[in-house]
Every structure is written in structure tokens, then in C-alpha cells.
Amino acid sequence: MIPLVNLHFSLLPRWRGAAPVERAILAGDARTGSSIMQIEEGLDTGAVYDVEAVDIDDDETVEELRSRLGVIGAAQIVRMLREGFPEPIPQSGDPVHADKITPDELLIDWNKPAIDIVRSVRVGGAHSFFRGSRLKVHAAQPCDGAGEPGAIVSTGIEVVVAAGRGAVRLVTVQPEGKRPMPARDWANGVRPSVGETFGSH
């Protein structure tokens, strides 16, 4: 008899809950995984039949990581359907809950270190405001730079914004009412000045 199982994208009991892939990226975890677990009344508390750990690439987005884990998870299930389900092993260690990502978390806090800001961009939906208009950031990279957090420190070949520690190079952005575009094209249109700042509204 085939048991009722759940495919969960984390190394249980770390990141039980609704947003395990997003939380792993935001936390800067080096690894995550695909776990096949028993379904029981508790939230992602069931014993684990199989787990496969993977490294998280430094620039991997949540969509890319989830897609990769989906392929791994499907292969795990096919293998166990073919070979049989082993005796499940109870979870061990301190559980960590993966709360759903809230809209407030997607508003970029330029006071944070650049690496944390880029992690929020990798999760998807990160945005800030420039001259009163929302600007979504679809791709960004941490880089060297200093200045008042949120201030533009370079508008040349690259658009660079100071963070609480280091700086963020904007790669792909999306102004309100427009499609995603290279940050350089956005800057050519709005012509931001060095020292202008991004804000919360």
C-alpha cells in the first residue's frame, strides 16, 4: 500500500511551512533540499522517507531553485514508487518555521547590507520608490561602494545604489506601468543624479 506523502522543499525540520525556498534564500542558507515526508496533523512534522540535499547558488532566484528542486523531488518519488518506500525516519533537530513572505518584506530596506538586499531581489517582488514612483528590481548584484543608504553613487555604465554595507548594482528593473528593462535603459530615461535617493514611498 502506497502511503500518503508530501514533497517539501527544505531540509526538515528547518523551514517547515509555506515559504521554505524563499526563507532559505533570505537567510543565506548554503544548502536546502527535497524531502519526501509522511502526512500527519502537524505542519510538516511527519517522518521523512527520503531527502536529497542541494547547494544553493549565490545568484539563484527562487523560481530557478524551486524548479531544480521540483525535478529532484519528482525523481525521488518515481524511484520510491519503483523500489518501494523505506521505513520513515522521525525528524530531529530544532524546527524553524517558514512564514509566508509579507508585502512589507518586499520593500527594499537600503539600510541593510547589500548581500541581504540582493537576496530579497532573488526571492522576487522586491521594490523601492524613486521620485514617488514604484520601481521593481528583478535582478541585482552586490558590489563595492559607499554612501548614504539608498543614494545613487554611480549612473555611468552601471547604476549603483549605496546600502547599509556595500552597494547594489541594479541589473534589471521595472518602472510602474512598464515592462522589465535593463537598469541602464531606465537610467537613460529618468536621468537620475548621483546623490538622489530611493525611498519607502
Query: How many Cα atoms are found within 13 Å in the side-chain-facing hemisphere of 147?
Result: 19
Which domains does the chain carry? 5-98 (3.40.50.170), 103-190 (3.10.25.10)
pLDDT band for position 157 (50/70/90)? confident
Predicted confidence (pLDDT) per residue in 132-150, tens digit:
999 999 999 999 999 999 9
> What DSSP designation does 100 have?
P
Q: Is the pLDDT of residue 106 over 60?
A: yes
SS3 content of the chain, % helix, strand, coil (to 5): 25, 35, 40
This prediction's pTM: 0.93
What is the β-pairing status of strands 14-17 and 96-98? parallel
